[in-house]
Amino acid sequence: MKNRKGWAILMRSRMKLPSNNTTNDNLFNKLPISNEIGLTKPASEGNQMNQNPSSFMQNSERELKAVQVSMHSAVSTSKTDIIDSVLNDFSEGYFSLSFEMRQELLLVLARECDVNRTQVRELIQQYLGLHPPLGEIGQESGVEESLLTAFYRTERNLRHALQPKYEILFERLNTHPGGLKFLSILRADLLSMLAKENIASVRALDSYLKEKLATWLSPASLELHHITWDDSASLLEKIVAYEAVHPISNILDLKRRLGVGRRCFGYFHPAIPGEPLIFIEVALQKNVAQTIKEVLRDDPPTPESEATCALFYSISSTQPGLAGINLGKFLIKRVIELVKRDMPHVSTFATLSPIPGYMQWLLIKLASQTKLAESEAGYTPHRLDGGSGSTFRKNILHKEEEAALMELSGEFYSGKNGMEVMWNLLNSKNYEWTSFERLSSVVRAPLMRLCSRYLLQEKKRGKALDAVANFHLQNGAMVERLNWMADQSEKGLCQSGGIMVNYVYRMDKIEENAQSYFGEGHIQASSDLQSYIESKLQGERVTGEK
């Protein structure tokens, strides 16, 4: 039976993945899952393209018009007996459209089903023309009660007028079979549109839908499920395909992650059965792991009775349309509670996390600071990405680091200064700097120090620049330790030079840390991590904790 399940997962994995999942392209090409309706081009589209181009365009325009009519009907109809049929027509029609046609349709939805601002202005003028009663609010004077009635009526009408018409469509789809999944796909398309062009009406549409989805996907509506090898093959194939941090290489790897010394938990919604919205993988260990190899290749695993640490090593969201809705916050807290209940001897809850933006940030910083160092003009602090307040001087390297890198110049990588040598070294083909002990030993100190600065000091709108750091910090974690060469995969070297970070969740500090981070941007960090940063630099917003 177990062999049958493994065979079923492999066979299904040969089918095509949903095209709206943008992570782990290489893994997806190897281990995809079954098609989801509406996520791929309709089979007929390729045949249509072989027709006369003008004929194809006419057919596409007619198709778009038909879907547009069904969309407006789904918003405006008051006949309850046909609503389900109209919503089916709209969703099926939407999935039949090309992405370009979907964009046109969503633009129509954003503009034609927006707030009626003429009506809003008229109601505001009407409201401003009302004279408030002289007595206390709620006083049972006949005259004042009638005035209050006018206020209440106008306020009610104003609230109604401020609701866009597309709210009706969203509300109806939410209670329609398959509607919640459809809305997540629709929002994924909106995010793709906004990535190309920031259109105000589309941004408002996306913001409104995001708020609705966040309400409908509250913790009370989600079901936490412990995913095991005994679950259906269709669910396990989704775990394989949606794993966004550390690709699952084969069936044995999957079984290991679901076996002894491991846990996998997912959040599910009744309206999207059989598909996790987000899932987390946990390793039960004696100590907090310093390399991903310890976690993925721990064979035999730590006996569960001897485990004292629950290590979160992968958190994957499966729905691009739910971006910005922090389901992971609730998931982590629920998992901690569950593990503590079932395994009281586990007292440490930590992560072994990637640092996905570090290397890109560092290479940009090295290039820009090298140019500034070469300039004879006065130095103005450089701001990365328009929002990262940097405290770097012209040369971001210490004197001893600069000297060690310049010794490599000519022998390995040339450069006018240490920053240029380091830039050339980090951009070497196939990360060859990791293959020579002398090279890796020279760059270790600056890479670790600058990584700590990236995590603790580089901010965007007052919050950590790194997306993974921001996620864990807003959930109440603290930055505990950097781990050198913790992930030597191509992905790990490309993202962070192989460095990974441990975040720790201390149960008695989670709420305090989260409030401090949200309110003032304070980042809780261990004293060891702080030691990487020069104390004399001004503007530090790091609080130490042992």
Given this model, what pLDDT does residue 132 score? 72
The domain of 32 spans 17-115+164-216
φ/ψ of residue 401, rounded to 5: -70, -40
- In a domain, residue 516? The reply is yes
Task: Map residue 143 onto helix, strand or coil.
Answer: helix
The yes-or-no verdict on residue 47 having pLDDT over 60 is no
Q: Mean pLDDT throughout 243-269?
A: 94
Q: Is 501 exposed, middle or buried (0-12, 13-18, 19+ CB in 10 A)?
A: buried
Given this model, what pLDDT does residue 168 score? 96
Contact status, residue 385 vs residue 357, Cβ threshold 8 Å: no
Q: Any idea what the CATH number is for the domain that residue 190 is in?
A: 1.20.140.90
pLDDT-above-70 percentage for the chain:
80
- My answer on whether 239 and 283 are in the same domain is yes
Contacts 24+ apart (CB under 8 A), 125-132: 126/154, 127/151, 127/154, 127/155, 127/158, 130/154
Which residues does residue 312 pair with via DSSP β-bridges, in sequence order? Answer: 282, 351
- In a domain, residue 323? The reply is yes
Which residues does residue 459 pair with via DSSP β-bridges, in sequence order? Answer: 464
Given this model, what pLDDT does residue 534 score? 57
Which residues does residue 383 pair with via DSSP β-bridges, in sequence order? Answer: 389
Indicate the range of 102-106, 150-154, 447-451 predicted with least confidence. Answer: 150-154
Q: Distance between CA 292 and CA 351 in Å, rounded? A: 11
- In a domain, residue 244? The reply is yes
- My answer on whether 450 and 468 are in the same domain is yes
pLDDT in tens, 501-540: 999 999 999 999 999 999 999 999 998 888 877 543 433 3
Q: Distance between CA 199 and CA 111 in Å, rounded? A: 11
Nearest to residue 189, comparing CAs of 176, 205, 178, 200? 205
Q: Any idea what the CATH number is for the domain that residue 402 is in?
A: 3.40.630.150
Q: Distance between CA 302 and CA 262 in Å, rounded? A: 9
Given this model, what pLDDT does residue 245 score? 93
The yes-or-no verdict on residue 189 having pLDDT over 70 is yes
The yes-or-no verdict on residue 226 having pLDDT over 50 is yes
Going from the C-alpha of 336 to that of each of 188, 252, 282, 394, the distances in angstroms are 30, 27, 10, 44
- My answer on whether 168 and 235 are in the same domain is no
- My answer on whether 274 and 339 are in the same domain is yes
Question: Which DSSP state fits 301?
Answer: P
- In a domain, residue 62? The reply is yes
The yes-or-no verdict on residue 49 having pLDDT over 60 is no
- In a domain, residue 4? The reply is no
Which of 14-18, 387-391, 406-410 ranks highest by mean pLDDT?
406-410
Given this model, what pLDDT does residue 376 score? 42
The yes-or-no verdict on residue 2 having pLDDT over 90 is no
Given this model, what pLDDT does residue 14 score? 44
Given this model, what pLDDT does residue 535 score? 41
The yes-or-no verdict on residue 310 having pLDDT over 80 is yes
- My answer on whether 131 and 97 are in the same domain is no
- My answer on whether 233 and 316 are in the same domain is yes
Given this model, what pLDDT does residue 301 score? 82
Residues with catalytic function: 353, 472
Helix (H) or strand (E) holding 421: helix 418-426
Number of structural domains the chain divides into: 4
pLDDT in tens, 431-441: 989 998 999 99
Cβ atoms within 10 Å, residue 312 = 25
Q: Looking at 224-357, list the stretches that DSSP marks H as alpha helix, in order from N- to C-terminal side.
A: 233-242, 251-257, 292-296, 327-342
- My answer on whether 44 and 94 are in the same domain is yes
Banded model confidence at residue 462, pLDDT cuts 50, 70, 90: very high
- In a domain, residue 187? The reply is yes
Burial 77-116 (b: 16+ CB within 10 A, else e): beeeeebeebbebbbebbbbbbeebbbbbbeebbeebebb
Indicate the range of 1-15, 310-324, 475-489 predicted with least confidence. Answer: 1-15
- My answer on whether 311 and 402 are in the same domain is no
Average pLDDT taken over every residue of the chain: 84
Q: Mean pLDDT throughout 42-68?
A: 65
Last residue of a domain, one of 200, 216, 232: 216
Q: Mean pLDDT throughout 207-225?
A: 95
Please report where in the chains the tokens 């030079």 appear, as a residue. Answer: 497
- My answer on whether 173 and 268 are in the same domain is no
- My answer on whether 110 and 199 are in the same domain is yes
Given this model, what pLDDT does residue 149 score? 87
- In a domain, residue 27? The reply is yes
The yes-or-no verdict on residue 21 having pLDDT over 60 is no
Last residue of a domain, one of 351, 368, 392: 351
Distance of alpha carbon 276 from the chain centroid: 15
Q: Distance between CA 472 and CA 474 in Å, rounded? A: 6
Given this model, what pLDDT does residue 194 score? 97
The yes-or-no verdict on residue 48 having pLDDT over 60 is no
pLDDT in tens, 80-130: 889 999 999 999 999 999 999 999 999 999 999 999 999 999 999 999 998
- My answer on whether 177 and 316 are in the same domain is no
- My answer on whether 203 and 240 are in the same domain is no
Given this model, what pLDDT does residue 423 score? 93
pLDDT in tens, 339-350: 999 999 999 999
* DSSP assignment string, 445-498: HHHHHHHHHHHHT-EETTEESSHHHHHHHHTT-EEEEEETTS--SHHHHHHHTT
- In a domain, residue 469? The reply is yes
pLDDT in tens, 272-309: 999 999 999 999 999 999 999 999 986 778 899 999 99
Nearest to residue 164, comparing CAs of 125, 212, 196, 197? 212
Given this model, what pLDDT does residue 243 score? 94
Last residue of a domain, one of 297, 329, 351: 351
Question: Which DSSP state fits 303?
Answer: P
Q: Any idea what the CATH number is for the domain that residue 270 is in?
A: 3.40.630.180
Banded model confidence at residue 39, pLDDT cuts 50, 70, 90: very low
The yes-or-no verdict on residue 18 having pLDDT over 80 is no
Banded model confidence at residue 20, pLDDT cuts 50, 70, 90: very low
Task: Map residue 262 onto helix, strand or coil.
Answer: strand
Could you tell me whether strands 542-544 and 309-317 are parallel, antiparallel, or unpaired per DSSP bridges? Answer: unpaired
